[in-house]
Structure 1
Amino acid sequence: MVHSELQDIADELFAIDARLVEIEAEKRRLLQRKQILGQRQSSLGPHHGYSMQLSAGQKVALFLALFQGRSDVFARRWENRDKGRSGYAVACHNEWRFGICDKPRTKCRACGNRRYRPLDEQAIRGHLMGKQVIGLYPLRTDNTCHLLVADFDKSGWRNAAKAMARTCGAFGIPHAVEVSRSGNGAHLWIFFSEPAPAREARRLGFGLLDKAMGDSSRSVFRFL
């Protein structure tokens, strides 16, 4: 029986070696084909080669597909350079209209004249063109969300963001990392294919962070 098992192992090892030879040959063939296609693409010139550039409409559609949240309202960034202050406020059709808007004496949520602007294609186009900076309300009215974002903004944010990105990669979780507007922080985004309960999304985020660096490092980030 031992002899039979040894023979089976030897046969399988031989089959594996043969398959590896085939794979190596296929790899060489694909690399050669890739080189030929690259040379052909270069010879056709930049106007005839394959392009990954998206049209304005495609960019808006991509933004809407990824950054899904409340569509009935969004925030808009404001800045007071004289006082060195900035922040986000809900976008309203009646903002600062004389005789209608009573800011800052009356808060938006208590104003009877509020008419919130919807997050539509026009708002997103303005954001992508740099005409305004908008903020998304990711928590929907049914307490679900389409995304999770971790905000790293204290000392050690670089290492913390890298550690969490590595953990996402280890679990096969697609993610995107960007540097904050200030240049002194980072955001890590995880997009869901369907709405998820907000509680479960936060649990996922904390679980990933704990796996990456432990509870003691939670002070360098927050989930938005």
Structure 2
Amino acid sequence: MDSDLQPQHAPGLRKRLAELTREINAVEEQLAALDGDAQLELRQPRTFQPVHSPSTPAEKVALFLELFATRRSVFPQRWENARTGKDGYSPVCDNEWHPGI
């Protein structure tokens, strides 16, 4: 950071930041026009409510489908651990254990 920055520089820096933001937006629009349907907007990460044991099976399935909706090759697979007695579901791919993957 520059040692010669003073509080009176803040308005100028804010103005420069606004100019750069406008320039970034203009370049993103140009790229979007070139890329066609490509989405170049910055997206905020979606937040999900945690799934608790009291959640109904339908709520859990709905969450799973929402998380993996775009991946048709991913589906739940039931597993059981005979040693510990635990069981559950894990996401797996339809190409699991295929050579070359």
Q: What is the TM-score with the length of structure 2 in the denominator?
A: 0.37
Structure number with the higher strand fraction is 1
Q: Based on CA coordinates, which of the two structures has the bigger radius of gyration?
A: 1
TM-score (norm 1): 0.20
Greater relative contact order structure (CA < 8 Å, 6+ sep): 1
Higher helix share: 1
